[in-house]
């Protein structure tokens, strides 16, 4: 007669139940990780030097995908979006102006939003900035983005406004390399 425990289960059945418990735990963890990545946080690798010194090429960052499901993009936010160019790359840039704002770029490298010069202490130091004189008013659901490394940034000055529907999240944190925390 096989040995049974106090509940009448054999050793084989107990082992099978324990293995099944581990399998269920692993499957649950995988499903949770996939759901978190799809709907809450997304890892992202910074592809270009356009956001230096705030974000460096190769920085691994976390994008908060819920940020704009419950709120609006605000001036100064670092956003992740699908570009409007034919390659549809995923990019990270700073939102400079949002729906309804009037933006003015000057040949002296100044940026005005709604007639106020914006402070840009996040810009890469030592840049000699000069823009084509432009004045734009953003339409509904439009965002004007620029990189912090202005002289090395392909941004709204070149590809135009970013439709709000193209934004998939807000920069949350650098998680690699640790020296950038």
pLDDT, tens digit (0-9, with 9 covering 90-100), for 88-128 = 788 999 999 999 999 999 988 889 999 999 988 888 777 77
Clarify whether 93 is annotated catalytic. yes
Domain check: are 83 and 106 in the same one? yes
Domain check: are 118 and 65 in the same one? yes
Q: How many whole angstroms separate alpha carbon 147 and alpha carbon 41? A: 22
Count up the domains in the chain and report the number: 2
Domain check: are 31 and 95 in the same one? no
Measured from the Cβ of residue 89, the count of other Cβ atoms closer than 10 Å reads: 12
The parent domain of residue 162 ranges over 41-180
Domain check: are 49 and 108 in the same one? yes
Domain check: are 20 and 99 in the same one? no
Domain check: are 90 and 26 in the same one? no
Clarify whether 89 is annotated catalytic. no
Domain check: are 74 and 134 in the same one? yes
CATH number of the CATH domain containing 46:
2.10.109.10
Domain check: are 84 and 62 in the same one? yes
Q: Which residue among 65, 93, 153, 156 is the active-site one? A: 93
For every one of its 181 residues, what pLDDT tens digit does the chain have, with 9 covering 90 and above? 456 666 666 788 888 888 999 999 999 999 988 887 777 888 888 888 999 889 999 999 999 998 888 889 999 999 999 988 767 788 999 999 999 999 999 988 889 999 999 988 888 777 778 788 889 999 999 999 999 998 888 889 988 899 999 999 999 989 888 887 7
Domain check: are 27 and 91 in the same one? no
Q: Which residue among 6, 10, 11, 50 is the active-site one? A: 50
């Amino acid at each position: 007669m096989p040995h049974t425990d106090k509940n009448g289960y054999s050793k084989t059945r107990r082992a099978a139940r324990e293995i099944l418990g581990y399998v269920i735990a692993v499957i649950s963890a995988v499903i949770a990780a996939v759901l978190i990545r799809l709907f809450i946080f997304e890892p992202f690798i910074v592809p270009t030097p356009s956001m230096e010194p705030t974000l460096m090429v190769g920085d691994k960052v976390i994008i908060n995908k819920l940020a704009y499901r419950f709120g609006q993009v605000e001036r100064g936010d670092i956003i992740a979006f699908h570009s409007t160019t034919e390659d549809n790359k995923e990019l990270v840039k700073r939102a400079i102006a949002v729906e309804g704002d009037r933006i003015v770029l000057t040949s002296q490298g100044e940026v005005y939003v709604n007639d106020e010069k914006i402070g840009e202490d996040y810009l890469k130091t030592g840049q000699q900035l000069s823009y084509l004189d432009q004045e734009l008013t953003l339409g509904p659901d439009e965002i004007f983005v620029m990189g912090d490394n202005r002289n090395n940034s392909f941004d709204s000055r070149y590809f135009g406004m970013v439709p709000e529907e193209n934004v998939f999240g807000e920069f949350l944190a650098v998680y690699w390399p640790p020296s950038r925390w």
